[in-house]
Chain A
């Protein structure tokens, strides 16, 4: 009997998992296709609570159907006026309390687990930190990722090592934002006044080299809130280390190679460099960095956080950023660009690569 009950429970869990996975969304985006420890634990909790809630709903549904079928008005008799029933009332008070406790325990355990960021501060004897730490600064409507231990800065495309905890310091420069990579783990807010810390882990087995993880802003921050997306690229440790050292190698802005790109660089140095840095180790204080760092722009998969990175999109974006991201801070900070200037700038920007 006990065995049977156990099997029933197992099959119920299986059913719920099946339902959830049948409509589970897209692998690089959906919370129902967890690709990391945090998302996995959250998914497990979802399944647990869904099972419990379905059980409760099943009980209610049975009573509900019986009531509606059996107690329709058939004659004009006055039914017995029942005051209540203590035994029943105690049952439906105590059982929910027990169910809530069952959900509460793993909830509280995981809250503390997700908030454990001690490793960020743990220093070796030589003062270095082993943990991978990323400072995430959210601004209207772009993301900056600074690696304080490595001394490099990038934007819009987060690069992280797989299969280890990556720690995040979150802050916003203008209004509140919220940092969310659904497939990898729940979100946390980028507040304007304090740094929030949490960690995520990216499973190598769920990494698809052709489809980066989708990240987005989850807190209403203005007209282009919906477009404040970013990508997260998870690399095996060795490749990640390689990327870091490639980034570190860029000490000065790279000089463009072709004529066209050189023209573009001139334009860039006149009009764009005031806000956009092209070296990863820029000394500007974080608060004063006005626009995305473009050091490895040519290698990123996206423009402006959400447009596919190709020449056509880049030209359209440069021509009129306002149509792509209403309310962005780049509009009207530079003069109108001629087609020739656009060609040159595009050639230059597309050539900004750190990995050869």
Chain B
């Protein structure tokens, strides 16, 4: 398939990607879109660090700084980290369980286009009167009084993007429950698949509160509904609860797949089975469960009272236990192993100390009476960047290097990869370690400037230099991607040579139907077991037969486009003298509903790849 794709013209390739329902191509889309937003968010981070380089700096104005910090947080969480995690889930999870695609390929595409249109909508705010400026948490009292349309962009954009995420989560859940290959029991699933599974369940329960909260906020701002207006009997604390009941699990939605990716890496490059697999699964489930029990630790200073604070404090600290279990399991996976220091492994090894730093400050923050000091200071900023960058972003870089051959059929340059690693790793610790102390010394977070003479100057300079080192690391990675794509040296099934799970039994990239014959799974690390038995590939679980495939469809794009258009109408219709708002809103919604109607009445049974075509290909895995 890939060779055919190369012969296609640009237009045909574009059309292919606009209509694709193939999980591997959707993964590419997520990777490209998420990567783009990651660069945008990174640029915003650099603006923040330039502004804070010296006291009383006037690189950006106070109001603009608030827009930048809001968009940095929102972009990085919703538009960069989530889709990049989704990219790997899409690319790898179906292969790991031995499936030909996800359960609902159409919905998979719909989820992506909703996310993309939501993200574009949110970022258009920069060019249409100003971005949201109430922080990524968008606390109600500030956000409902915020002037202009910034917060509307936030509420509507995240609503659309969040819908896509929810659809994606449900899709993965159904896929993992229903589409595992013969023999792939739950307790034989690779760790990354397990984390995908738990994360999808978290998405299912965490996103509805966000949806509700965003709707209430939209109603408040567009129709004066007063849900959050204290003067009218509303309550802003409710927003904090809505947001964090979503927001805390969201953190685990990001970090658990990171744990999954690292679990794969430690096993592969130590040539050893994951230590304590069942306790890893248990710990993952427990983290997911506890993740819903601790949201109020973001609100210790809100005034919930000592009983609530105590309960949430102890529950929060309890999360350290399953997380600790994981850390030790990883260490003992390497213990007695045969460690090879590839780029993904370097990220994984660096992740352990970095993430522990974030973990221990997490316990300190969880201890509520200390948190009264840390809350809303740079200490918190340092903490969550240690877990999100030191955990999630490290995992994304590691995953990019690890799975690049599986996704694109060619290896990223190891030397450049290691340069990226060194630059980013050093820059990361330089940027954020010192911020713990800035917080303790009395620097609140989200400040556009600070006054001279408080002892903050040197530390902020160090922090800003670190940020530029990270940026340099990312640029090297981009160069690496370009060089690799131009060279395009194809690799075989198992380019790291020590692949353990099913995806490494397939060609790189896999054929569009993944498995010519569904594999028979005989245990954990299915492919490794076969290799150890001296076999070249998986034992098939079925004879070669016709393969049923879904047709490509442009409808996911049009459904999402309709909502995108409708959002503009919804947002501007309340402006003075606006006449086009309502018609545009109606047109957009009709466009979406019409697309859904077409999808419903049009019979689309997909097509079959005839058995004959499959038999022509000698390679057992499929044709590459």
Contacts and interface: CB of A to CB of B under 8 A. Distances in A.
B370 A111 contact: no
Contact of B446 (A100, A220, A227): A220
Contacts of B335: 63, 66-67, 71
Given A46-B370, A186-B375, A187-B301, A23 B141 contact: no
Contact of A25 (B327, B338, B455): B455
Interface stretch (A84-92, A127-135, A289-297, A339-347): A84-92
Given A60-B356, A71-B339, A79-B272, A42 B373 contact: yes
A313 interface: no
Contacts of A183: 442
B2 interface: no
A189 B300 CA distance: 9
Contacts of A85: 275-276, 332
A309 interface: no
A39 interface: yes
A73 B339 contact: yes
B303 A39 contact: no
Given A60-B327, A115-B305, A220-B135, A68 B339 contact: yes
A219 interface: yes
Contact of A187 (B277, B329, B363, B376): B376
A71 B309 CA distance: 45
A299 B452 CA distance: 23
Which of B142, B277, B336, B352 is packed against the most chain A CB atoms within 10 Å? B142
A214 B442 contact: yes
Contact of B337 (A38, A71, A108, A172): A71
A214 to B, nearest CB: 7
Interface string B520-561: 000000000000100000000000000000000000000000
B336 A80 contact: yes
B320 A217 contact: no
Contacts of A338: none
B236 A186 contact: no
Contacts of A82: 272-273, 275, 332, 336
B364 A46 contact: yes
B9 interface: no
B12 interface: no
A290 B90 CA distance: 56
A107 B338 contact: no
B444 A172 contact: no
A103 B66 CA distance: 36
B274 to A, nearest CB: 9
B301 A189 contact: yes
A196 B447 contact: no
A81 B376 contact: no
Interface residues of A, dominant DSSP: mixed
A176 B236 contact: yes
B270 interface: yes
A11 interface: no
Nearest to A26: B455
A216 B317 contact: no
B141 A225 contact: no
A2 interface: no
A85 B356 CA distance: 22
A15 to B, nearest CB: 16
A220 B302 CA distance: 14
A23 B441 CA distance: 9
A53 B360 contact: yes
B61 interface: yes
Interface string B254-296: 0000000000000000111101111100000000000000000
A306 B145 CA distance: 25
B444 A180 contact: yes
Contacts of B357: 57
Given A41-B369, A222-B66, A189 B302 contact: yes
B303 A196 contact: yes
A120 interface: no
B164 to A, nearest CB: 28
A42 B370 contact: yes
Contacts of B395: none
A107 to B, nearest CB: 4
A127 to B, nearest CB: 27
Given A29-B454, A93-B325, A78 B532 contact: yes
A191 B61 CA distance: 27
A231 to B, nearest CB: 13
Contacts of A193: 230, 234-237
A172 B236 CA distance: 12
B139 interface: yes
B598 interface: no
A320 B451 CA distance: 19
B513 interface: no
A45 B369 contact: yes
Interface string B301-312: 111011001100
Contacts of B314: 100, 104, 107-108
Interface in A14-31: 23-26, 29-31
A202 B581 CA distance: 57
A39 B376 contact: no
A60 B65 CA distance: 40
Given A23-B437, A71-B270, A96-B320, A220 B142 contact: yes
Contact of B360 (A56, A83, A182): A56
A351 interface: no
B440 interface: yes
B318 interface: yes
B17 interface: no
A77 interface: yes
Nearest to B324: A96
A84 B276 contact: yes
Contacts of B339: 67-68, 71-73
Interface in A36-72: 38-39, 41-42, 45-46, 49-50, 53, 56-57, 60-61, 63-64, 66-68, 71-72
A100 B317 contact: yes
B450 interface: yes
A178 B301 contact: yes
Interface in B367-401: 367-373, 375-377
A107 B370 contact: yes
B121 interface: no
A169 B445 CA distance: 24
A238 to B, nearest CB: 30
Residue in A38, A220, A326 whose Cβ sees the most chain B Cβ within 10 Å: A220
Contacts of B372: 38, 42, 114, 185-188
Contacts of B368: 107, 111
A108 B366 CA distance: 11
A39, A107, A224: most-surrounded residue (chain B CB, <10 A): A107
Given A93-B324, A175-B142, A227-B449, 17 more contacts: A30-B442, A42-B373, A72-B341, A74-B338, A77-B338, A79-B337, A83-B276, A85-B332, A89-B325, A92-B324, A96-B320, A96-B321, A107-B369, A115-B306, A189-B302, A196-B303, A214-B442
Interface of A: 23-26, 29-32, 38-39, 41-42, 45-46, 49-50, 53, 56-57, 60-61, 63-64, 66-68, 71-75, 77-85, 88-89, 92-93, 96-97, 100, 103-104, 107-108, 110-112, 114-115, 170, 172, 174-176, 178, 180, 182-183, 185-189, 191-194, 196, 214, 216-227, 306, 326-327
Q: Nearest 3 pairs between A and B by C-beta?
A: A186-B372, A25-B441, A226-B447
17 contacts: A31-B441, A31-B442, A42-B370, A53-B363, A72-B341, A73-B271, A84-B279, A89-B328, A100-B314, A107-B369, A110-B369, A111-B369, A191-B302, A191-B303, A192-B141, A192-B231, A226-B447
